[in-house]
Chain A
Amino acid sequence: MNVTKVLDAKGLACPMPIVKTKKAMAELNSGEVLEIHATDKGAKSDLAAWSASGGHELIDSKEENDVLKFWVKKG
């Protein structure tokens, strides 16, 4: 996967992971992929819902050593 940018949102509590993701996303072009690292468990459902509501595509997500990783393609 071609990742354009990686956002470290580890240690941040809701709503910051989404706030930061939104900002980072604004700097990307349509079709580019943002990789997000977060530790807040709520980020899982919120990122999925946020992506859908913003017209982006949550391509993949996984959990590695308590870090949640997401790949979102800008719509």
Chain B
Amino acid sequence: MSVTPLTAKQLTRKIIEKEALFILDVRNEDAYSDWKIEGEKVTSINIPYFDLLDGVEEVIKKLPADVPVVVVCAKEGSSIMIADMLAEEGQDVSYLQGGMKAWSEHLEPIKVGNLNDGGEIYQFVRIGKGCLSYMVVSQDEAALIDATRMTDVYIDFAAALGVKIKHVLDTHLHADHISGGLKIAQATGGTYWLPPKDAENVPFSYEPLEEGKNLSIGNTTISIQPLYSPGHTIGSTSFIVDQSFLLSGDILFVDSIGRPDLAGLAEDWVGDLRETLYSRYKALSSELIVLPAHFMIMDELNNDGSVSASLGDLFEHNHGLNIDNEEEFRKKVTAHLPPQPNAYQEIRELNMGKIQKDSEEQREMEIGPNRCAIR
């Protein structure tokens, strides 16, 4: 029987297309319980590879006959070994190429809308980690929002579209993942924009994002309106693109809201968070399509794999937008916070340019789920 490599992209497509899959995850139990591959039709079990060194006969009994089996580990080495052992016992099997490392880094670009005069907006779904970034395109120019450290993906994508990256923006100082914004701006000659309140004393130069100071791309101008929306961080800024899309950063998600504690100031910022969600966002058109910087669960994915919902829908269905009592809201967002993301303090310092890490260290820092929300 044969062993087939499966790329992170192929696996992503299978999950988006809701193909049934059986995952044998051979990482150790802690790693699996912290973070694993999920999907509507995905079933997974966890047996550490070191418990299978003496043979896989017992495992084969647990594998379904009619569903493709994918072996997954941290970097791929162990999954190849176990897949080979399974194949020797007569099992058709594939393994995830590059393991969870590749899974964490894969970005799937999905077009989420058309803009004026032929403009387009793309969402880059980092399916393994739940991060969402965006490219807004108009004529021969592009703006990039909340880019990850996989900078080549955006640069290559822009090149394939034949557009020049003119603006690179971060909605806030990220604590869950490493921003590629500055690096991309430097590589493409674009301008890097940050909310000034999140960027105090950074050692690099940037343009401050300020409400009322619109950015544009293309000759006919797709406008990008910064909207000050503190709460997740003090500087958090949303963008209204082409009067149709609300890029909400880590303030509002499809099925949850942002957490105010990752800079250590939950009590101070909870008031800002409420003000942003219940007043500032409330005043906007309910027809705006909300494009957040994260998703938390696979249920948040639309049928095409993208993540979005109208602001009106969210005011109806998102629990975090429907807590009338201010005291209850305060409790909700400060008392029962989920665990903080891996290495979030260091990630903040790295994004502020205060420390430097090589690419292997950056990869390690980002391992695991993002945990930026409160459900």
* Bound-state Cα–Cα, A11 to B30, Å: 25
Task: Please tell me which one of the listed residues A16, A19, A22, A49 contacts residue B48 in the complex, with CB atoms under 8 A apart.
Answer: A49
* Bound-state Cα–Cα, A45 to B49, Å: 13
Using known A-B contacts A14-B75, A15-B77, A49-B48, determine if residue A41 contacts B31 with beta carbons closer than 8 Å.
no
Tell me the interface secondary structure of chain B in the complex: helix
Residues of A within 8 A of B50 (CB): 15, 18, 22, 46, 49-50, 53-54
Tell me the interface secondary structure of chain A in the complex: helix
Q: Name the residue on A nearest B52 (C-beta).
A: A15
Cβ of A24 within 8 Å of any chain B Cβ, yes or no, is no
Cβ of B66 within 8 Å of any chain A Cβ, yes or no, is no
Cβ of A13 within 8 Å of any chain B Cβ, yes or no, is yes
Interface residue ranges, A against B (CB under 8 Å): 13-16, 18-19, 22, 41-42, 45-46, 49-50, 53-54
18 A–B pairs (Cβ distance < 8 Å), ordered by A: A13-B75, A14-B77, A14-B78, A15-B50, A15-B77, A15-B78, A15-B81, A16-B77, A18-B50, A19-B53, A41-B364, A42-B75, A49-B29, A49-B30, A49-B50, A50-B28, A50-B50, A53-B48
Q: What total of A-B pairs shows CB separation below 8 Å?
A: 42
* Bound-state Cα–Cα, A36 to B13, Å: 41
Q: Which residues of B (40-64) have their CB < 8 Å from a CB of A?
A: 48-51, 53
Flag if B77 contacts A13 (CB, 8 Å).
Answer: yes
Q: Name the residue on B nearest A54 (C-beta).
A: B50
* Bound-state Cα–Cα, A40 to B77, Å: 12
What is the CB-to-nearest-CB distance from A75 to chain B, in angstroms, rounded to a whole number?
Answer: 14
Cβ of B73 within 8 Å of any chain A Cβ, yes or no, is yes
What is the CB-to-nearest-CB distance from B141 to chain A, in angstroms, rounded to a whole number?
Answer: 41
